[in-house]
Structure 1
């Protein structure tokens, strides 16, 4: 179990971001990219499972968690620009990018535009489309009306809705109560405007287009109980990204790295060791 340290880095012409770091400084760099209203904490179980032979970074993105919260810059392209600036800021020339949920969108953008900076790409329950989904439309109706301070019960329901029913934070579930409470607390650090503008950016961006130009080894991990991302979307990844692979996690919900961090760690490690 590698030790996890938390640091901060100022981005070039950007905000100050906290990031978690673990593993061997001489190991293959792996950057974990969180999704909507998460922070680096969403990867804490995964950080504990990844081998110390890897050099793992998990930044918190602008507006989220304890990162600085500028008034704008919440489109997927903005987060992708920050991701490259983060790699520059901590001295990463080339890394395996692991995108959780919508974090895979900015990871895909970077992989397509800067293939020399990306050794491999792992997508964890990442959508290919969003704007036409009833659940996303309903979510947008709610998020448009959010005001500060955010209602904790709303954030709690949102987080629990990401997990397969058998793992939804119960005593017998696969996701611990304490961890889930931390995730909720972290999501509440994002102001209402960040919830709103980040979701607006995801809905207004052609997410399918972010698959274009990806030539690096790509692995998609998807839980078959995912209420937001469909099997058909995963097939689109396979059809669009040359040589990409899919692993289906049976009985697992949207956030595979919460419910099965050990298994996700093994799959990420396989990509990292074969692309180094």
Structure 2
């Protein structure tokens, strides 16, 4: 696995992890507060011959940190631009949590960019009571962000010890790279996504879609999985018993095996 930096002509810079030769890779988009490392367990479980690009998105990790615009639309445009710069199109896209909304947006805006979707810990909207409860906490954050806040947030997304290739301390280390303003602005961008649309039309998502969900997920609940499955025509739902929101952290080997089976690899 190699960590690389991609500099775009307009000054945006993105960190990403690469395994394989980059030909027809699986593109992975992490959740709120995370980085490329969110998928390290799945990356380490990938067999020879599988290529993965795990992108660190704006404001996170060692990617660029603009002053504003942390909307899902802006994240999706970043992903489009990175994929174009790397010559990637018509590939599987995997998202976790916030990354699933970015993946949905990409698939809706340009279906040719996506061969398959995998949505881990997803929903039809980022607006819910759990995420809204974080607004007061992120509003008052100052730099340096307290490690205790980051640790409590990340530990709370899991129901079990983490699987091979993942450690909570490394996850927290990566999350500590976010400045206070990004914790708040990225959260608001996530909550605002489809907040005014209680019944979004997802018919533009036409590719085969795997919806993976842990039944101990306390952020996006079962009724959202039912709604997603109903709204995405070519979707398949896979529930993991006694697993939390960080499904791919707790069960990285199982998640990668299921993903590859879904892709027919």
TM-score surpassing 0.5?
yes
The question of 1:113 aligning with 2:109 is answered yes
- What are structure 2's unaligned runs of at least 5 residues? none
1:169-222: per-residue Cα shift (whole Å, max 9, x none)? xxxx34479721111111111111111111111112206637341001001000
- What are structure 1's unaligned runs of at least 5 residues? 168-172
Measure, in 2, the Cα distance between the counterparts of 1:88 and 1:258: 29
Further displaced range: 66-75 or 224-233: 66-75
Measure, in 1, the Cα distance between the counterparts of 2:145 and 2:131: 19
In the alignment, what sits opposite 2:179?
191
Residues 1:14 and 1:125: Cα distance change in structure 2 (over 3 Å):
farther
Measure, in 2, the Cα distance between the counterparts of 1:176 and 1:50: 12
In the alignment, what sits opposite 2:167?
179
1:49-73: per-residue Cα shift (whole Å, max 9, x none)? 0222221100100110111111122
How far off is 1:10 after superposition?
A: 1.8
The question of 1:100 aligning with 2:96 is answered yes
The question of 1:69 aligning with 2:65 is answered yes
Query: What SS does the aligned partner of 1:123 have?
Result: strand
Q: Determine if contact 1:214/1:241 at 8 Å carries over to the other structure.
A: yes
In the alignment, what sits opposite 1:153?
148
TM-score normalised to structure 2 length: 0.93
The question of 1:217 aligning with 2:208 is answered yes
Query: What SS does the aligned partner of 2:103 have?
Result: helix
Map of 1:127-146 to 2, 5 A cutoff?
127-133=123-129, 135-146=130-141
Q: Determine if contact 2:158/2:245 at 8 Å carries over to the other structure.
A: yes
1:11-48: per-residue Cα shift (whole Å, max 9, x none)? 3535100100012544x420000010100011111100
Residues 1:249 and 1:178: Cα distance change in structure 2 (over 3 Å):
closer
C-alpha RMSD of the superposition: 1.8
Measure, in 2, the Cα distance between the counterparts of 1:218 and 1:42: 20
Further displaced range: 120-129 or 240-249: 120-129
Measure, in 2, the Cα distance between the counterparts of 1:99 and 1:210: 19
